[in-house]
Amino acid sequence: MDYARPIMWNVPHWAEIALYAMIPLVLIAFFAGVVWRVRKWSIGQAEPGTLAPGGQLLRALAPLRLAELVKTILFQSRLAGDGFSIVMHQAIFWGMVVLFLGTALATIDQDVAHLVFDAQVLRGGFYRFFELALDVFGIALIVGVGMAAYRRYVVRPKRLEATRAGISLWDGFPFLAVLFLIAVTGFVAEGLRLAEGFHIESQAAVAATRGPEARRASLERMGLRERLRMGAERQEAELDRIARGEPVFPAAAWAPVGFALAKVFHPLSVGSIRALHQVTWWLHALLAFGLIVAVPLTKAFHLISSPANMLLRNPAPAGRLPVVAESGVDTVRDLAWRQLVQLDACTWCGKCQEACPGHNIGFPLSPRDLVQAIGAELLRTPVRANGQTRSLHGEVVRPEQLWACCTCRACEEVCPVQIQHPRLVVDLRRRLVDQGQVDEGLQEALMNLQRYGNSFGQSPRKRADWTKPLDFKLKDARKEEVEYLWFVGDYASYDQRAQEVTRALAKVLHAAGVDVGVLFEKEQNAGNDVRRTGEEGLFSMLREKNLKELANARFRKLLTSDPHTYNTLKNEYPSVGDPPNGDDPLAGKPVLHYAELLDELLRQGKLPLARPVDRTITYHDPCYLGRFNGVYEAPRRVLRALGVELVEMPRHGPDSFCCGAGGGRIWMKDTPGIDERPAENRVREALRLPGVECLVVACPKDLVMFQDAVKTVGAEARLRVADLAELVNEAIATSSEPSTLVETSHDRTG
C-alpha cells in the first residue's frame, strides 16, 4: 500500500512563507560570517617556496589528498587513541549530518517533488526508513551531546578547562545546549504531530461505528482533506487510505521516539496539541537557523576551518622549519596565512597541552593557550591595517612561555586538526632573538656557536679529540673518499660521557668494516637547535660553513650520531626549491642516523655479533628521530637482534616524552619553581617498569639529560643509561676487550 509523508502538517501558510523567507537571510548571515573569518586569513604573509593559496587549494583537491581528508572527517581518525572522543564526535557529527540531510530531503520533497511534480520521494518503505533513521540519529546526537557535557562538566579534564583568552562567549555550554535543544524540539514536534494523528484516528473510529461512510464523513468534517497538502487525486487516495482505518501518519511506529512521546502527549486536548506543535516547530526551526548563523562566529567554525587547514597544510617534512621572516613575528600580520588558518582550526581540545612536556612539569606553557591567545588576537585585528597592530609580545604571549618549549613536536603529533605549534613558537622566538632578548645560558651558547662553531665554548681544534684513544685511525673525509661521512655533532664530540658512546660506535663501524670518515675540526654544529631557538641568522651561517666543507669532501652517504643533527642535515640542508640547486653537495646523498645504519648492517649480516646481551631494557625514542622523522623500528630491530628483553614505556613511539633538551633548552637555565625536570619525569617512567635495569637511548643529548636525571632522582644504582651503540659494541666486543658498559660515572661537562 502506498502512502507518503504529510507535508508541513499543522503549519499555517503564513508560517511556511515566513520560514522560507528566513532561509536566504540565514544563508547570507552564515556566508557573511564565513567571509569575515576567511578574510582574516588574507592578512597573513605569503610563504616563500610554497604555492599561493589558490594553487594550494588546487593541489589539495587532488584525489589522494581529498580522499585522506574525507577519511579523516568520516572516521574522525585523527582522534585515534581516545575512544570516548571518537564516539562523542561521531555521534554529534553523524547525528547532525543525518538530521540536516533529512531536513533537506523533506524540504526537497516539499518544494521540488511536491510543488513541481505533485509527487513525493518520502513514501512507502523509504518513508519508513527515513523516519527510523532520523529518530536513531536524533538519539545519537543527544547521546553525543550528553557525552560531551559529561566530559566537560563531570569529568572536567584539565585540558578542557576554560582558556585564558577565549575567542567567543558563545561556546561550550550554550553550543551543546543548542544542539541538545534542536534534537529535543525535533522529537517533541514529531511526538505532538503523531499525537494529533491519534486523536483524528480515534474520532474517526468513533464515527466508524456508524458505518464506513460515517468514518469518511468524519474525516472530511475534521478538515483532513485541506490539511493534506497534495494534489486532489493524491488527497483522495490518502483520505481513502485513512478511511480504511489506517493511521494518519502511517510510518508513526517507525519513529520510535516520536511514537513514545505521542503516547505521552495523547491525553492533551487537540487544541493544546496543535498549539504546542506550532510553538515547538518554530522553536526547532529558529534554533537550527541560529546554529547555522552561529557557526562562523563560534567554535563550530572548526567544521569549516579544520578541514580547510588539513587540505591546505604544507606537505613539506615535519623536520623542515619554514621561514617567512628571519627577524621573526611581532604581530599577527607577520604570520604566514597558513598559520592563521591553523589558529582558526583550533578546537580547544587541549590534547597538545596534555602531551606537552613543558606543561606537564609546570613550565608556564600550554600550546593550546598559546594558539588560543594568538587566535583571539587575529579576530581582534582588522583586515585593513588602520593604525598600529598590537605586538603579540607582552600581553598576548610572554617570553617565558616561548622559552619553555622543547620543540619536541608532541603537541603537533596529537593535534587532531594538524596545527604546527612549534613553528609558531620558533617564529615568535625569532623576534625575541632579533631584539637581543635571550636567556643568559642561551646567550652564552649562541656566542660560543658564533665564534667556535660549538656550544661548549671549546676550541674547534679539539673537536676530534674523542678519536685519540681509539686504536685505529678514522679516515679524514676532507682528504680521501669515503662511503659514509660521519657528521658527529657537538655533544657526541665534546661531552665526556657522550664521547664514550661515539668511540663505541666507531669501534662497531670499524669491526663491521664500514668505510667511514669525519671532517675533524672543520665540522661545526649543524644548527638544528640553533634554528629552533630562533637564531635563524646563526643557523644560516653554520649551514653555509658546513655545506662548504661537505662540498669539498667526497662521500656517498651522510651518517649522524645526533638525531638533531640528523634532522637538519636530512630536511634543512638540501637546497629547497624547484628545481633543486644543481651544485647542492647533498643532492642524491642519503642521510642516516646510526640506528638506521646498524639496522642495515644487521640485515646485510655485517654486524659480527658475538654474544647476546642479557639485559632487560627499555628504549627512549628521541623526538628528532621518531616524531620528526618516523624512525621507530630500526633501533628496536637492532635491540632485538642483540637478544635483550625490550620492555616498552607507556609513552613510546610517537607518544615518546621529550627529555627536555630540545629546541635549545639544553643550553638554557633551569626554570625555578618547576615540579620536576622532563628528564626526571621520563626516568621515573622507566623506573616504574618491572625488571628494567637499563634505559637505552640513541641520542647524545638524551644520554646527558638522563644521566643527570638518574642521579638527581637517586636511582643510579637501579637504572643505567646506555646508548644503543654501546650495547652493540658490547655484543661484538672480543673477550679481550673490556665491555664499554663497565661502571661509568663521569659527570657531565660543559
Q: Any contact of residue 436 with another protein (CB under 8 A)?
A: yes
Shortest Å, Cβ 524 to another protein: 13
Coil vs helix vs strand at 542: helix
Pick from 263, 461, 554, 611 the residue near another protein by CB under 8 A. 461
Should residue 459 be labelled a site residue for another protein when binding is judged by CB under 8 A? yes
The smaller minimum CB distance to another protein, of residues 226 and 743, is found at 743
CA distances from residue 505 to 368, 483, 486, 521, 527 in whole angstroms, order as listed: 40, 16, 11, 19, 22
- Contact between 446 and another protein per CB under 8 A: yes
Q: Which of 171, 334, 369, 434 binds another protein (CB under 8 A)?
A: 434
Q: Choose, by CB under 8 A, the member of 72, 366, 458, 618 that binds another protein.
A: 458
Exactly one of 136, 447, 576, 647 binds another protein (CB under 8 A); which one?
447
Task: List, in order, residues 6 or more apart from 648 with CB less than 8 Å away.
Answer: 618, 619
DSSP summary character for residue 155: I
Using rule CB under 8 A, residue 441 touches another protein: no
Q: Which stretch binds another protein (CB under 8 A): 153-161, 262-270, 428-436, 589-597?
A: 428-436
Distance CA 344, CA 419 (A): 10
Q: Does 451 bind another protein (CB under 8 A)?
A: yes
Segment interacting with another protein, rule: CB under 8 A, options 48-56, 218-226, 458-466, 592-600: 458-466
SS3 percent helix, strand, coil of the chain, rounded to 5, is: 60, 5, 35
**Residue 438: CB minimum distance to another protein, A:** 5
| Minimum gap (Å) between residue 558 Cβ and another protein | 24
Nearer to another protein (CB atom), residue 495 or residue 730: 495
Q: Which of 236, 440, 633, 675 binds another protein (CB under 8 A)?
A: 440
What are 104's three cell numbers? 533537506
CA distances from 237 to 119, 231, 441 (A): 13, 10, 88
Would you say how long the chain is, in residues? 750
Closer residue to another protein (CB): 278 or 540: 540
**Rounded least distance, CB 356 to another protein, Å:** 27
Q: How far is the CB of 747 from another protein (least distance, A)?
A: 17
* Count of residues interacting with another protein (CB under 8 A): 23
Pattern of binders to another protein over 519-548, x per CB under 8 A? ----------------xxxx-xx-------
Min separation Cβ 749 and another protein, Å = 14
Secondary structure in 3-state letters for 28-68? HHHHHHHHHHHHHHCCCECCCCCCCHHHHHHHHCCHHHHHH
> Is 97 in contact with 343 (CB distance < 8 Å)?
no
Q: How far is CA 659 from the centre of its chain?
A: 21
Three-state secondary structure of 180-248: HHHHHHHHHHHHHHHHHHHHHHHHHHHHHCCCHHHHHHHHHHCCHHHHCCCCHHHHHHHHHHHHCCCCC
* Near another protein by CB under 8 A: residue from 276, 433, 512, 694: 433
Asked if 749 is part of the footprint of another protein (rule: CB under 8 A), the reply reads no
443 binds another protein (CB under 8 A): yes
Return d(Cα 615, Cα 742) in angstroms, integer.
Answer: 14
Nearer to another protein, 201 or 536 (CB): 536
Binding-site member from 146, 256, 457, 608 for another protein (CB under 8 A):
457
Q: Does 465 bind another protein (CB under 8 A)?
A: no
Instruction: Considering only the C-alpha atoms of the chain, give the largest distance between any 2 of them, rounded to a whole number of Å.
Output: 116
Beta bridge partners of residue 484, listed in sequence order? 516, 557
> For residues 26 and 447, which CB has a smaller minimum distance to another protein in the complex?
447
The yes or no reply on residue 552 touching another protein (CB under 8 A) is no
Q: Per DSSP, which regions of 519-655 are E strands?
A: 555-560, 591-593, 616-619, 645-646
What DSSP element (H or E) covers 305? helix 302-312
Q: Is position 572 an interface residue for another protein (rule: CB under 8 A)?
A: no
Residue of 548, 580, 744 whose CA lies nearest to 49: 580
Residues 6+ apart with CB under 8 A from 462: 494, 521
Measured from the CB atom, is 307 or 457 closer to another protein? 457
Nearer to another protein, 137 or 456 (CB): 456
Kindly state the smallest distance separating residue 442's Cβ from another protein, in Å: 8
Quick one: which of 9, 363, 452, 555 contacts another protein (CB under 8 A)? 452
C-beta closer to another protein: residue 431 or 652:
431
Is residue 523 within 8 Å of residue 546, measured between CB atoms? yes
Q: Which residues bind another protein (CB under 8 A)?
A: 326-327, 433-434, 436, 438, 440, 443, 446-447, 450-452, 457-459, 461, 535-538, 540-541
